[in-house]
Chains A and B, each alone.
Chain A
């Protein structure tokens, strides 16, 4: 099957407008007869469900949490990009587009990225209209901050809780549609399969997590807005419940998986403290705006960081990348931290951490404040206190979080940070219309692969989720549904529904009846370790091959020795988790396979075989300038399809942040 990305013809900056001008429409009377299923209620899902509901479609929305407001978009801290150029610093749609393609290391589809940059400005307008309380200046206008990988200030934010505020905005729009009867909400429901009739997605099988009963739901189209799969690494900044199951079931039913190995490792997370660790906590990238990252110049230096004099500190990012300094893109910053720690310069008890120091920033802000107050001869203590107040206002909640987790005061002692899995650029392959390779099945937000290439820039995930949900799918879905107006609702007693439901129940029974000795959690931990060690920040041919073997072994062991207590028809969190881990194991194998296939380094994907003399990632555009879209062909069997990437505007060059 040939992949058709359906990119509209014409000049890059006209494609989307042209598309919108010519796309097929569904008239209001017909919309009322069309049902759409939205799985997941994060930024992409909630915004899509709300927008489609407003348009008049009959929407059913599903989430596994107890309320749509808890989707993991809520945890995004730093901000959301938009090419508003409110700061008059030379930003434009083109620059946002350019930065995103470059930041993604030339592995994203240009047309999608350009559209993203175009609609970015509408997102901010929409959110402000909904009452999202973005940070403002004293004049009452919106405030911006800068983020990694860019040289302009285009990031809108609400303290360190931007994701929360944006999600609550989308959630309130969604709840409004629920109240109006346009959306029916199914909370504590998990999608366990896609139902296909005549090669089109026509519904889902969902399980009510309270009663344990499976349900059949029909939809003329199905939208998967189910987020990323970072939890395949067990430890990640994702929520405990974040999983790949919905996307994986779609994959098994014919949706290709795009670039599964593209994982973002975020440079500023709180380091692992021990074996008990269940998840990792991110410290917003915005901290790199003001904080300075360093390690001691001397290996194994165990002194208190405060006692290490300035000339014995290695500010390695500033040293290696003078142009961008501490604001290099995430993949670069993460690898640089790993390099220092691997070389033995790491700090903290585990030696797998570097310092993020706010001392200079506090003093710098303090001096500005002292100047404002006319305190010309202020002593260091006064300056520190004044500066601390400024830092507190900007990053207070992050510092507080750090203190709670580590028990240390980050205003006094530099924070310890280390990279952690944060985001997955890979996902279901979609065309320009966000449709997967299964007709009528769409993927939005982090669940698709489309916009970030091999590395996502900070503050772009929120942008993409909302762009897809508010401003892309309302147009592109109509193009498909316009041809579906003659399709009446299909009864969920249709054999395809019954068959899918039976399969789901069989699998649940199978899992429950293994009755082995090892817990689900222990399998997940082992999978995570394999993935982190061999398919994490650095990957090699031999390592990946080993990993594939180990994962296949693990899979066998899982299906013969997992222990799940309780029954099916009840609230059973272990059973829920078991299904997810089983899918993660299969995904892990595909990720390694994809990483093995891509014998180049690009963005977050670093193949040890492909690096420059200075240890920077080296792309291989001649051989790998394509999207790897994998088709599932049965157990541990995939076929690779390639979507060639052509760059009309942003000509690929070796990324340099020096």
Chain B
């Protein structure tokens, strides 16, 4: 793999805190190696800003190996940047070339308010999980793990849905700011498994109710979420969420 260096112009969203208005600021970085990750390029920029006596750019990141779901940059008009099936931290600078201008913004959704610069508050996702994204089994109540064989196909599909890292790229990408892929993935995972059966109905109803309460938009099936999901979560999960909701909503006897 050929390595090269590049000079770049960055336009980055700066916002002091949740209450103040923000705007794009322009920065220049020099001599960026194509081997760097995108966040390492941000490290370079931040070091530069600190030395210049300016405030560094706040951005969320932690594991830097594409699994914790913390990083969340909208890069050149795409969640997590130009690569497919990829998180911001795994985006590498060889995706860019010398002289490029890169625009970096935070996730934008009323359910993800900006806290500072590129950092947003995604606690709405936690609250959706609190509404029912679990199987109610207290510690110590489990039967032997092999007591219940599970069709490998179902187990595999459940796993693929469970691969969601909760980063919120689906919401950030969706023109409606909908969280259906996130919710669909969790509902799918648990409804595909026999362990999830007892709470199947209440789970989907409660999670959707919480999702609506948080102010996410409605799904209009543009499938942009699937295209931008770093873990390739399929829209089949949204379809499953829909049918689970339809059956649960219509069969539920509560009035």
A residues touching B (Cβ–Cβ < 8 Å)?
47, 50-51, 54, 65-72, 74-75, 84, 86, 122, 124-142, 158-159, 161, 163-165, 168, 171-173, 175-176, 178-179, 185, 187, 210, 237, 239-241, 273-274, 276-279, 281-282, 400-401, 404-408, 470-471, 474, 519, 521-522, 563, 565-566, 570-571, 573-574
9 closest A-B pairs by CB: A140-B149, A172-B134, A129-B142, A125-B142, A133-B159, A407-B1, A179-B130, A128-B145, A51-B139
List 27 A–B pairs whose Cβ atoms lie within 8 Å, in order of A's numbering.
A50-B139, A54-B138, A72-B63, A74-B63, A74-B68, A75-B65, A124-B145, A126-B140, A131-B193, A133-B159, A161-B67, A171-B129, A172-B134, A175-B126, A176-B134, A178-B130, A239-B68, A278-B37, A281-B64, A401-B66, A405-B92, A408-B1, A470-B139, A470-B140, A521-B43, A563-B51, A570-B17
Query: CA separation between A140 and B35, bound complex, in Å?
Result: 43
Q: How far is the CB of A171 from chain B (nearest CB, A)?
A: 8
Q: In this assembly, does B82 line the interface, its C-beta being within 8 Å of a C-beta of chain A?
A: no
CB pair A142 B145 closer than 8 Å: yes
Q: In this assembly, does B184 line the interface, its C-beta being within 8 Å of a C-beta of chain A?
A: no
| Residue numbers in B under 8 Å from A132 (CB-CB) | 162
CB pair A67 B47 closer than 8 Å: no
Within 129-182 of B, Cβ neighbours of A (below 8 Å) are at: 129-131, 133-146, 148-152, 155-156, 158-159, 162-163, 165-166
| Residue numbers in B under 8 Å from A139 (CB-CB) | 149
Q: How far is the CB of A308 from chain B (nearest CB, A)?
A: 19
Query: CA separation between A185 and B139, bound complex, in Å?
Result: 19
Total interface residues on B, CB under 8 Å, equals 79
CB pair A66 B150 closer than 8 Å: no
Within 18-61 of B, Cβ neighbours of A (below 8 Å) are at: 33, 35-37, 39-40, 43-44, 47, 49-51, 53-56, 58, 60-61
Q: How far is the CB of B181 from chain A (nearest CB, A)?
A: 16
| Residue numbers in A under 8 Å from B136 (CB-CB) | 176
In this complex, what residue of B is CB-closest to A67?
Answer: B126
- What 0/1 readout, one digit per residue, does chain B (1-16) give for beta carbons within 8 Å of chain A? 1000000000000000
Q: How far is the CB of B173 from chain A (nearest CB, A)?
A: 19
CB pair B43 A278 closer than 8 Å: yes
In this complex, what residue of B is CB-closest to A50?
Answer: B139
CB pair B137 A129 closer than 8 Å: yes
CB pair B62 A239 closer than 8 Å: yes
Within 98-146 of B, Cβ neighbours of A (below 8 Å) are at: 115-116, 119, 121-123, 125-126, 129-131, 133-146
Within 219-251 of B, Cβ neighbours of A (below 8 Å) are at: none
- Partner pick for A175 among B17, B130, B165, CB 8 A cutoff: B130
CB pair A565 B50 closer than 8 Å: yes
CB pair A404 B193 closer than 8 Å: no
CB pair B152 A138 closer than 8 Å: yes
CB pair B133 A172 closer than 8 Å: yes
| Residue numbers in A under 8 Å from B33 (CB-CB) | 274, 276
CB pair A66 B121 closer than 8 Å: yes
CB pair A136 B152 closer than 8 Å: yes
Q: In this assembly, does B85 line the interface, its C-beta being within 8 Å of a C-beta of chain A?
A: yes
CB pair B162 A565 closer than 8 Å: no
Query: CA separation between A334 and B195, bound complex, in Å?
Result: 41
In this complex, what residue of B is CB-closest to A143?
Answer: B152
Q: In this assembly, does B217 line the interface, its C-beta being within 8 Å of a C-beta of chain A?
A: no
Highest count of chain A CB atoms <10 Å: which of B17, B60, B67, B149: B67
CB pair B123 A172 closer than 8 Å: no
Query: CA separation between A41 and B125, bound complex, in Å?
Result: 16
| Residue numbers in B under 8 Å from A161 (CB-CB) | 67, 163
| Residue numbers in B under 8 Å from A404 (CB-CB) | 66, 83, 86, 90, 92
CB pair A573 B63 closer than 8 Å: no
Known A-B contacts A54-B138, A179-B130, A571-B116; the reply to A133 vs B155 at CB < 8 A is yes
- Partner pick for B40 among A75, A135, A278, CB 8 A cutoff: A278
Q: Given contacts A131-B193, A163-B67, A571-B119, list 19 more A-B pairs with CB under 8 A.
A: A67-B126, A69-B129, A70-B70, A75-B68, A129-B195, A130-B134, A131-B134, A136-B156, A161-B163, A173-B134, A175-B134, A178-B130, A273-B35, A278-B39, A400-B85, A401-B66, A471-B139, A566-B55, A573-B58
